[in-house]
Amino acid sequence: MTRVVIAGAGGRMGRALVEAAQADASLEIAAALDAPGSAAIGSRAGALRVTSDVAAALAAGEIFIDFTRPEGTLAHLAACAAAGRGMVVGTTGFSAAQRAEIEAAAQRIAIVMAPNFAIGVNAVFKLAETAARILGDDFDVEIVEAHHRHKVDAPSGTALKLGEVVAGALHRRLGEVAVHGRHGDTGERPAKAIGFHAIRGGDIVGEHTVIFAGVGERVEVAVRSQSRATYALGALRAAKWLRGRAPGLYEMADVLGIR
């Protein structure tokens, strides 16, 4: 049985993780955490009470699951590295410097980090890569994503990952060809641009579409998440896979065996 610690247990994703972990007989929730001062402190997370005691949580658990905010995740990362605990990171919005901290910690502990843990989304990463290789430079690429009104970063980490996958398949550097939205007199579209467009509204869980627009035909690869349970189930699958794994920075492609 894998003993997991769930951070951000009072949030939307945290509650989904708690519910999914309770339904999995191969998992035990060792601790449920939230930030000090959070209204969730003291509330129930299954059979446990939500606390802010990271040290006690790490003493009880084996794998730490974090879908919070970059600053909180990095504080948890330091604690996990010191305690020798593996970590599943679903937080997005890291800067390059913060990403470097995670890569450094992965030399000491095993980390699965992904912009999206849903199994279907990770299948779409592979499908988009394959489509890009087949279609090549004759097709323009646009990525459209939609999320709920509470999401604070844009484009989503999943959209950026799709851009990275497609750019890699087309032998382009994403930082040099990415275009984020358009307004005004933008001029003709650069041939190798990869466009990103973010929609925010209501309670949309998550939708991502990669559009390959050619002359006379259009190919679309899309995935629509209808519940956060898809993310939670993938993250818990990663947590079980991570148990006993050697230090390193892994992706869901490693967990699913589709690299």
Kindly tell me if the per-residue pLDDT of 47 is higher than 90: no
Give the Cβ contact number of residue 61 at 10 Å.
24
Query: Quick one: 2-113+228-256 is in which CATH superfamily?
Result: NAD(P)-binding Rossmann-like Domain (3.40.50.720)
Tokens (6 digits) for 98: 């913060």
pLDDT digits (tens, 9 = 90+) for 150-207: 999 999 989 999 999 999 999 999 999 999 999 999 999 999 999 999 999 999 999 9
CA 195 to chain centre: 20
Buried b (16+ CB within 10 A) or exposed e, 124-142: bbeebbebbeebeeebbbb
- Token pair recorded at residue 79: 């604690």
Section 4-31 average pLDDT:
96
Q: Tokens 């996990």 — which residue?
A: 80
- The amino acid occupying position 248 is G
For the chain, give every domain's residue range: 2-113+228-256, 119-225
Q: Are 248 and 103 in contact, with CB atoms under 8 Å apart? A: no
pLDDT class for 259, splitting at 50, 70, 90?
confident
Question: pTM for the complete prediction?
Answer: 0.83
To which H or E segment does residue 210 belong? strand 206-213
| CATH number of 119-225, picked from 3.40.50.40, 3.30.360.10, 3.90.120.10, 3.40.50.10190 | 3.30.360.10
CB atoms within 10 A of CB 63: 27
* Residue range 26-45, pLDDT digits in tens: 999 999 999 999 999 999 98
Paired tokens of 190: 């650069």
**192 tagged catalytic:** no
CA angle 171, 126, 242 (to 5 degrees): 110
Location of structure tokens 């605990």: 85
Q: What is the pLDDT of residue 29?
A: 97
Cis peptide before 155 (omega within 30 of 0): yes
Type of residue numbered 232 = A
- Largest Cα separation within the chain, whole Å, is 61
Rg (Cα) of the chain, in Å, rounded?
19
Q: Please confirm, yes or no, whether 150 is among the known catalytic residues.
A: no
- Would you place residue 93 in the very low, low, confident or very high pLDDT band (cuts 50, 70, 90)? confident
Q: What is the mean pLDDT of residues 210-216?
A: 98
Indicate whether 108 pLDDT > 90. yes
Considering 126, 151, 192, 240, which one is annotated as catalytic? 151
Active-site residue (options: 147, 161, 197, 208): 147
pLDDT band with cut points at 50, 70 and 90 for residue 146: very high
